[in-house]
Chain A
């Protein structure tokens, strides 16, 4: 039974993970990360799950790492930190992951949002990497994914000053995909998840993989991967169904084959 998460299946094909550590603004302690990684692994194995939405509270998506825990770790402790493996597992989640962000997404919270494929944020959300204020640096992708998302000048400014940016700024910079009214953030994210869950699962999986390739490989390799994935899909039943349904002007019925 998870302690720090609430997991639901609000609709067919969609799993909703809510971070629930209100007393600490959803700070990502080891326990929470462990649960999150294992929930995502379960969602990965579950054939019924086609997309996952992750969210926090109205006030905070996640306001950082657990500082008290971090203070207790010395150099060797950090070297053997179990959280590294959890972060890797979260980032490697192969199905679409949508973050619905209200309030603070700071430090580890911002890094978690960046692990998601799609980020929908409430208009008063704030994104930042304040680690520098504590004499440390982001440790879960905050220097790498942030730069790839928003470019060097803004990434440098955020990481070196620790100052947070508004949802509007984050949208403009490409850190998030959409702004909505805070009361509707989760609903909108679930809508996007539902839409994705209705597509051909194999196509979704390969599309995600191909898009992620674009971030960490050269263009020629990326294009080659895209072409291979495109070719692979030609052998699936869902492709035939998708094209036929389009021609017959009806809803496609995908089966994941």
Chain B
């Protein structure tokens, strides 16, 4: 499958997925959804990819749903928005959260609607200084989707989550970082390079262990303390059987640099 609405490559352990409909601020239509889905499937099946970097082309990151793809003309049949959520948005954020490798998101510009929430499903979010997050749903009578209502209060607290979701105001990258919504702010011109550097660096790390860390932290929101302790035990059991663990201990004991393989 050749891609028209995204750029996709796997190199040096880094899968790079860039949304590529810059004229439409990388908003999602069905065709782009299908390509993103196919690319993520390839990431999952690839034995080479150890880190995923999600970003976008042009001045915006993602403006959410392409509204021109929706028929809401007067007299038209009432659209079932749940259908596209079931079909596309929910599987997308689930896949990002469940991918057994670290997912970095480089937010290069405005991130609105679903586009503001997709980064939240990733593991490490970097944003350009000029980037912003807008829970635009409330402006057109909708509810934040793609996991926004679940992730926002957990990341920034209920008071700020409600203000963001009900006022739909622009949240600048620096404020987003101060609030704990994202990991780091980077100068616009340096964003792509910094994100790639981080991705390449992570791709040399024990990525299987990182995937287990991701799994345990993601699960912590749902679990009670006891359940989480049991999960830690089980995941540690798995981590302890990895080649990377053996390599890590051996390198430490022999005072050399470990060569991790991600398994």
Which A residues have a C-beta under 8 Å from some C-beta of B?
180-181, 183-184
Contacts and interface: CB of A to CB of B under 8 A. Distances in A.
Tell me what chain B mostly uses at the interface: helix, strand, loop, or mixed.
Answer: helix
Interface string B217-253: 0000000000000010011011000000000000000
Contacts, number: 9
A184 B237 CA distance: 9
Contacts of B234: 180-181, 184
B143 to A, nearest CB: 23
Interface in B57-110: none
Interface in B33-79: none
Interface centre among A180, A181, A183, A184, by most chain B C-beta atoms within 10 angstroms, is A181
9 contacts: A180-B234, A181-B231, A181-B234, A181-B235, A181-B238, A183-B238, A184-B234, A184-B237, A184-B238
Given A184-B234, A184-B238, 7 more contacts: A180-B234, A181-B231, A181-B234, A181-B235, A181-B238, A183-B238, A184-B237
Interface residues of B, number: 5
Nearest to B98: A124
Contacts of A181: 231, 234-235, 238
B38 to A, nearest CB: 19
A175 B234 CA distance: 23
A-B pairs, top 9 by smallest CB distance, nearest first, are A181-B234, A183-B238, A184-B234, A181-B235, A184-B237, A180-B234, A181-B238, A184-B238, A181-B231
A254 B40 CA distance: 54
A183 B237 CA distance: 10
Nearest to B234: A181
A60 B110 CA distance: 42
A39 to B, nearest CB: 29
A59 to B, nearest CB: 13
B187 to A, nearest CB: 41
A181 B235 CA distance: 8
Contacts of B235: 181
Nearest to A124: B98
Nearest to B219: A123
A197 to B, nearest CB: 22
A36 B2 CA distance: 45
Nearest to A180: B234
Contacts of B238: 181, 183-184
A188 to B, nearest CB: 9
A184 B234 CA distance: 8
B87 to A, nearest CB: 16
Contacts of A184: 234, 237-238
Nearest to B238: A183
A184 B236 CA distance: 12
Nearest to B237: A184
Contacts of A180: 234
A146 B211 CA distance: 36
A181 B223 CA distance: 14
Nearest to B235: A181
A184 B230 CA distance: 12
A181 B100 CA distance: 13
A151 to B, nearest CB: 25
A180 B235 CA distance: 11
A181 B216 CA distance: 11
